[in-house]
Amino acid sequence: MLLQLDRLPWGHCLDEYNRMFSLNESDRELAILDCACGTASFNAEMTRLGNKVISCDPYYYQRTPVEIDALIQEAYHTVIDFPRELYAYGGNNYFESEEHLANVRRNATLEFLEDFPSGLQQGRYVTAELPVLPFDDGQFDLALCSHFLFTYPHSSENFPLEAITEMCRVAREVRVFPLLDRFGGISEHLNPIRTILNRSFHVEPRTEVNYEFQKGGNKMLRVSKKSSA
């Protein structure tokens, strides 16, 4: 059973971001770009705390709040029916149950909807699509991308590499989570991409994080510009 999660509001909250990307207090004070973020409440929650985030996505921001609200109801029941064998619940994992997961997703999306009109006016939400971003070189300190580059199939095999390279253009550091494909295995694109990125960037070994949604999916990729020294 493969879920069309890219067609549903799939909002992650600030606490999930902190865990997925190992964000500490210093990280949260940086100028952050959140790519392909869907209806996450990360921007809303960070803004409320006085932090700076720009979110970009090509899909949900072309829908009206009413359309997204209708999709929330569909998403809730779809999440409840997740195939349990592919995902991590209970124990030391973040989600206690399918109901807990569905409620986190719904609440994050509702918070996004409340924030979106003002955030759009303030330029915090931008309609943009990887692998080409409408931002200046080095405009951000940190670029984040969750549950997209390796999770879903793309029109081109080079897409994940092109996307990461573009994020490295606009930010000093890039963090990508998770490293699994939608079937739950390490993406076949990961090692070839790391090899190529190593030529121009500093690529850290797979970094373990305090978050697991897919079983075994508790690692992220960190890429940063090499020192000129």
CATH architecture, range 5-225: 3-Layer(aba) Sandwich (3.40)
Domain boundaries, the chain: 5-225
Per-residue pLDDT of 185-216, as tens digits, reads: 889 999 999 999 999 999 997 889 999 888 88
Higher pLDDT, 157 or 81: 157
Structure confidence at residue 96 (pLDDT): 79
Per-residue pLDDT of 54-89, as tens digits, reads: 999 987 566 676 777 777 777 666 665 655 555 665
List CB contacts of 27: < 8 A, sequence separation 6 or more: 21, 142
What does the DSSP assignment read for 174-224? EEEE--B-TTSSB-TTHHHHHHHHTTTEEEPPPEE-S--SBTT--EEEEEE
Q: Write down the pTM of the prediction.
A: 0.88
